[in-house]
């Protein structure tokens, strides 16, 4: 499966910066900070009829490739890795790494939120105002049903077409794994036909990605402009302690913990690592979507790290769905913050341990789309006795924090593929020697 041509990350970054500057300037000049903030009608019209549609076209062109790309990449990757033993070895390493970094992230978040206690000093009138402003949005969201049976239904779909239509990524991954293993058990001629077909599907998605990435600077500009023009920094000031804890935790996870793991297990220094993944990071930050960033990650892994398709096509689709360390940290901090605001007594250590476990598990089930973790977060809130509707308190700044945590999720994806490939590289079969090596050496 060939990689798409590179889109200069400088153009995407320029769109991101210019959109943020323009949005903040408009916010300062025309939006009454309140609270609540009052956005003028003309700005709402511009965002609804210009900025949001352009950004939506860009995101949808990326999303439309996700299901066929994940399915084709995983199935081909499994078929090329080999039998169940090799798949189990690579998959085991990948899943253990995902769970490890998610647990580390959630623990970092809880340690910081316990130390800072941002929820204890929030004025009651601010709480009431934020709930009033965003309570309607919170009422539209429903807590996820995360029972064991529901999780099994997500993992093992009874209709793969329905799972694809509803972007149920765990089900798609399971079906793709089964197809990949099945290909390895077919007659060689039939297996080759199927592999060529799936590789062709992947190459076709590459073309669509190339079209989408031509729009990237404009789509990124519009997405960031809409967010910053309506929100500005007013909400960040109101919730500065909470937002600061989330961002500090994400920074520790993304720029300290993960680079150290990459250096230790892949032998790649932090500067080299971040230089190679800069395009992926910009895409993740601007789209707030692990799924939308997957095509870029596939290209970066192959062109920058030299990871073969069979490894990149296996690890990265799993990562887009299951590597959610940033989300686990965000959920842990948010749950503790809202518990500090609404519960009279601090949570016990046992309850906090339960929060860590739930955050790690529910982060795996979070949809890789903007705001995909909110329904599962409401489930965790209910488990510790906080009204799920309390999520209204942080909905206003969720988009900004979503951009940050998606970036950390993405750094986790890229660290995983680098580490797994470093471990698998030694298992590559040696290159075949020339039939007459002595003659070749003489003639050369």
Average pLDDT per run of 10 along the chain, which is 444 residues long?
Answer: 52 82 88 72 90 85 78 77 68 87 92 88 67 57 59 78 76 82 85 88 80 81 82 66 92 96 95 94 85 85 89 85 86 88 80 82 61 69 77 76 90 94 70 42 40
d(CA 82, CA 320): 23
Looking at residue 38, its pLDDT comes to 77
Q: Residue 20: how many CB atoms within 10 A of its CB?
A: 18
Looking at residue 208, its pLDDT comes to 81
* Residues 232, 33 contacting (CB under 8 angstroms): yes
In sequence order, the β-bridge partners of residue 38 are 32
d(CA 168, CA 162): 8
Our measurement of the distance from residue 43's CA atom to the centroid of its chain's CA atoms, rounded to an integer in Å, reads 30
Q: Which domains does the chain have, with CATH numbers?
A: 9-425 (1.10.3860.10)
* Residues 229, 26 contacting (CB under 8 angstroms): yes
Looking at residue 250, its pLDDT comes to 96
Torsion of the alpha carbons at 169, 313, 316 and 304, rounded to the nearest 10: -150
């Amino acid at each position: 499966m060939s990689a798409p041509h590179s889109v200069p990350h400088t153009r995407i970054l320029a769109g991101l910066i210019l959109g943020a500057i323009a949005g903040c300037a408009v916010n300062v000049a025309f939006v009454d900070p309140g609270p609540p903030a009052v956005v003028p009608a003309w700005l709402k019209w511009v965002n609804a009829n210009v900025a949001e549609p352009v950004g939506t076209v860009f995101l949808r062109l990326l999303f439309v490739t996700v299901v066929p790309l994940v399915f084709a990449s995983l199935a081909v990757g499994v078929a090329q890795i080999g039998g169940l033993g090799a798949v189990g070895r690579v998959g085991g390493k990948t899943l253990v790494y995902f769970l490890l970094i998610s647990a580390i992230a959630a623990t970092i978040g809880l340690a910081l939120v316990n130390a800072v206690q941002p929820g204890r000093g929030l004025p009651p009138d601010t709480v009431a105002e934020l709930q009033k402003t965003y309570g309607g949005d919170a009422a539209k969201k429903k807590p996820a049903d995360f029972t064991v049976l529901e999780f099994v239904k997500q993992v093992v779909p009874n209709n793969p077409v329905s799972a694809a239509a509803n972007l149920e990524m765990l089900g798609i991954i399971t079906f793709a794994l089964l197809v990949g293993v099945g290909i390895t058990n077919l007659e060689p001629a039939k297996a080759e036909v199927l592999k060529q077909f799936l590789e062709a599907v992947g190459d076709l998605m590459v073309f669509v990605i190339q079209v989408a990435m031509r729009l990237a600077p404009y789509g990124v500009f519009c997405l960031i402009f809409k967010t910053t023009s309506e929100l500005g920094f007013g909400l960040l000031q109101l919730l500065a302690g909470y937002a600061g804890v989330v961002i500090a935790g994400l920074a520790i996870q993304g720029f300290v913990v993960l680079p150290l793991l990459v250096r230790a297990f892949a032998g790649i220094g932090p500067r080299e690592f971040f230089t190679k993944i800069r395009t992926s990071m910009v895409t993740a930050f601007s789209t707030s979507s692990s799924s939308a960033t997957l095509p870029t990650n596939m290209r970066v892994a192959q062109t920058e790290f030299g990871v073969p398709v069979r490894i990149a096509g296996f690890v990265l689709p799993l990562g887009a769905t299951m590597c959610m360390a940033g989300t686990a940290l965000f959920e842990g901090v948010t749950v503790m913050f809202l518990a500090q605001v609404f519960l009279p007594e601090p949570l016990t250590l046992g309850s906090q341990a339960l929060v860590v476990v739930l955050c790690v598990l529910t982060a795996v089930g979070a949809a890789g789309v903007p705001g995909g973790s909110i329904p599962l977060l409401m489930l965790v809130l209910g488990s510790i006795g906080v009204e799920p509707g309390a999520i209204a308190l942080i909905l206003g700044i969720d988009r900004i924090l979503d951009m940050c945590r998606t970036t950390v999720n993405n750094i986790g994806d890229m660290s995983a593929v680098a580490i797994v490939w470093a471990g698998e590289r030694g298992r590559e079969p040696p290159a075949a020697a020339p039939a007459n090596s002595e003659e070749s050496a003489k003639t050369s």
